[in-house]
């Protein structure tokens, strides 16, 4: 809509037609509590403040959002859901199926979201043809973040294959540092496993984690995947258990550890510490996964609210999130790529440009898959059953990869 020569946002237009002002704040439940995450969250808070949308913060610490989802369930059960909730993949669809989410279709239609949000994301932003969430980013999990000086000290190049990777890890060990900075939490173990499984083939990843094919889950390739996980578990330090992901990033940032296998929210930590890609650290795709991407998209789902004021505030927040200028500013800090295809890459560093190019390429080539570890491959029941087996394998509880693969097939079958 054009007014006095200026383009109004659709949300502003909605507000004008219903004469509603933002008397109501939005209460936002999220798990962005690390340094890099909080910096990105501030970009969102500041943006909303300029639009007079008040923010009531409900942070629930815990990478990957499991604790946040538990807190959410408690709030909804008590009949007091937050206004807006950071959410991933199948969790959004589960809440929509429960009838708990509001409808963003009016603002989405007015602003043409259908044309600019990639179909893979829309699969989690819409239910029954209605928009139920606003995607703020696209992260991907198949990344490795390497301390550049530690890599240079090995005399080896960036690892491109599994064998290269093991050679670099061995050389780092010989150089007296912890090769793999890692936190022993189920979702972090699973994030590493996303990369391992994808590295054994895109068809295999799809068959196992998306299609939940018992033969792929319990077969020889899965046994090999678990053997690789068990190999990686030998390169962590003695204190890895329970460590938060951002502290593992810090180990790589300060050179105590050589590398971390983590989604690109890790880049937010490097940037927050003033580190420069290509100079202080390098970002590579998990060896063997070049050309493919396992993604997860943080979306803000809006819960059912009563008043028109609260509904207008939700629509305005969703509109602000979907603004292309905001998507650039936010994702530059967060480490992710924009959730729209029409955002220029100029403001992004080399890792961000690579993230955007990889995403577009994978989308075109049919090698873009939802992340198992971050709730975009299967519903939470299956994800949690998968987590249990992965973590047990990482901690040496199976005789070998074949035993772990058999346990995985059984656990996933029981969870469905």
Question: Computed over its alpha carbons, how large is the radius of gyration of the chain?
Answer: 21
Q: Confirm or reject binding of residue 272 to ligand GAL (CB under 6 A).
A: no
Positions 6 through 45 that interact with ligand GAL (CB under 6 A): 31-32, 37
Q: Which stretch binds ligand GAL (CB under 6 A): 15-23, 63-71, 233-241, 393-401?
A: 63-71
Q: Confirm or reject binding of residue 338 to ligand GAL (CB under 6 A).
A: no
CA distances from 62 to 158, 299, 387, 391 (A): 31, 17, 16, 17
Q: Please report how close the Cβ of residue 63 comes to ligand GAL at its closest, in angstroms.
A: 4
Binding string, residues 124-163; x marks residues near ligand GAL by CB under 6 A: ---------------x------------------------
Considering only 374, 377, 378, 392, the residue that binds ligand GAL (CB under 6 A) is 374
Q: Which is nearer to ligand GAL, 245 or 369 (CB)?
A: 245
Q: Which is nearer to ligand GAL, 205 or 265 (CB)?
A: 265
Strand partners, 140: 295
CA distances from 377 to 194, 386, 402 (A): 10, 11, 23
Q: CA-CA distance, 335 to 271, in Å (whole number)? A: 9
Q: Which stretch binds ligand GAL (CB under 6 A): 60-68, 69-77, 379-387, 392-400?
A: 60-68
Q: Which is nearer to ligand GAL, 9 or 34 (CB)?
A: 34
Q: Please report how close the Cβ of residue 91 comes to ligand GAL at its closest, in angstroms.
A: 10
Q: CA-CA distance, 251 to 177, in Å (whole number)? A: 10
Q: Reduced to 3 states, what is the DSSP secondary structure of residue 325?
A: helix
What six digits make up the tokens of 287?
A: 């060896």
Q: CA-CA distance, 177 to 51, in Å (whole number)? A: 48
Could you give the angle at the alpha carbon of 66 between the alpha carbons of 61 and 67, nearest 5°? 45
Considering only 9, 65, 104, 138, the residue that binds ligand GAL (CB under 6 A) is 65
Q: Please report how close the Cβ of residue 402 comes to ligand GAL at its closest, in angstroms.
A: 30
What six digits make up the tokens of 395?
A: 């901690």
DSSP states along 196-233: HHHHT-HHHHIIIIIS--HHHHHSHHHHHHHHHHHHHH
Q: Which is nearer to ligand GAL, 65 or 181 (CB)?
A: 65
Q: Which is nearer to ligand GAL, 272 or 311 (CB)?
A: 272
Q: Which stretch binds ligand GAL (CB under 6 A): 62-70, 199-207, 225-233, 304-312?
A: 62-70
What six digits make up the tokens of 348?
A: 């992004």
CA distances from 61 to 37, 66, 187, 244 (A): 11, 9, 14, 10
Q: Please report how close the Cβ of residue 293 comes to ligand GAL at its closest, in angstroms.
A: 14
Q: Which spans of this chain sit near ligand GAL (rule: CB under 6 A)?
A: 31-32, 37, 63-65, 88, 139, 245, 265, 296, 298, 374
């Amino acid at each position: 809509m054009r007014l006095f020569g200026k383009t109004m946002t659709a949300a502003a237009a909605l507000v004008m037609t219903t004469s509603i002002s933002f008397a109501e704040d939005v209460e936002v439940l999220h798990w962005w509590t690390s340094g890099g995450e909080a910096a990105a969250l501030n970009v969102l808070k500041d943006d909303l403040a300029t639009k007079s949308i008040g923010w009531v913060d409900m942070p629930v610490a815990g990478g990957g959002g499991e604790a946040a989802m538990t807190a959410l369930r408690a709030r909804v059960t008590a009949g007091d859901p937050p206004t807006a909730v950071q959410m991933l993949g199948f969790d959004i669809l589960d809440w929509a199926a429960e009838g708990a989410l509001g409808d963003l279709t009016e603002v989405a239609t007015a602003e043409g979201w259908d044309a600019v949000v990639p179909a893979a994301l829309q699969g989690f932003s819409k239910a029954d043809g209605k928009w139920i969430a606003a995607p703020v980013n696209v992260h991907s999990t198949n990344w490795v973040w390497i301390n550049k000086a530690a890599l240079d000290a090995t005399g080896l190049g960036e690892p491109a294959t599994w064998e290269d990777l093991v050679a670099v890890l061995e050389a780092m060990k010989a150089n007296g540092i912890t090769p793999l900075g890692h936190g022993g939490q189920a979702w972090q173990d699973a994030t590493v496993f996303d990369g391992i499984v994808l590295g054994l083939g895109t068809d295999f990843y799809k068959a196992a984690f998306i299609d939940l094919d018992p033969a792929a889950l319990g077969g020889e390739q899965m046994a090999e995947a678990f053997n690789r996980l068990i190999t990686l578990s030998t390169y962590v330090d003695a204190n890895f258990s329970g460590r938060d992901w951002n502290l593992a990033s810090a180990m790589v940032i300060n050179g105590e550890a050589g590398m971390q296998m983590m989604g690109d929210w890790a880049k937010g930590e490097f940037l927050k510490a003033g580190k420069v890609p290509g100079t202080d650290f390098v970002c590579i795709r998990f060896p063997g996964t070049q050309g493919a991407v396992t993604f997860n998209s943080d979306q803000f789902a809006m819960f059912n609210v009563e008043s028109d004021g609260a509904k207008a505030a939700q629509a305005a927040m969703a509109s602000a999130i979907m603004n292309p200028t905001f998507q650039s500013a936010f994702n530059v800090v967060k480490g992710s790529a924009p959730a729209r295809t029409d955002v220029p890459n100029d403001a992004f560093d080399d890792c961000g440009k690579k993230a955007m190019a990889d995403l577009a390429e994978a989308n075109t080539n049919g090698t873009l898959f939802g992340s198992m570890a971050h709730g975009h491959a299967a519903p939470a029941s299956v994800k949690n059953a998968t987590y249990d087996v992965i973590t047990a394998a990482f901690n040496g509880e199976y005789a070998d990869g074949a035993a772990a693969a058999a346990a995985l097939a059984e656990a996933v079958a029981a969870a469905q």
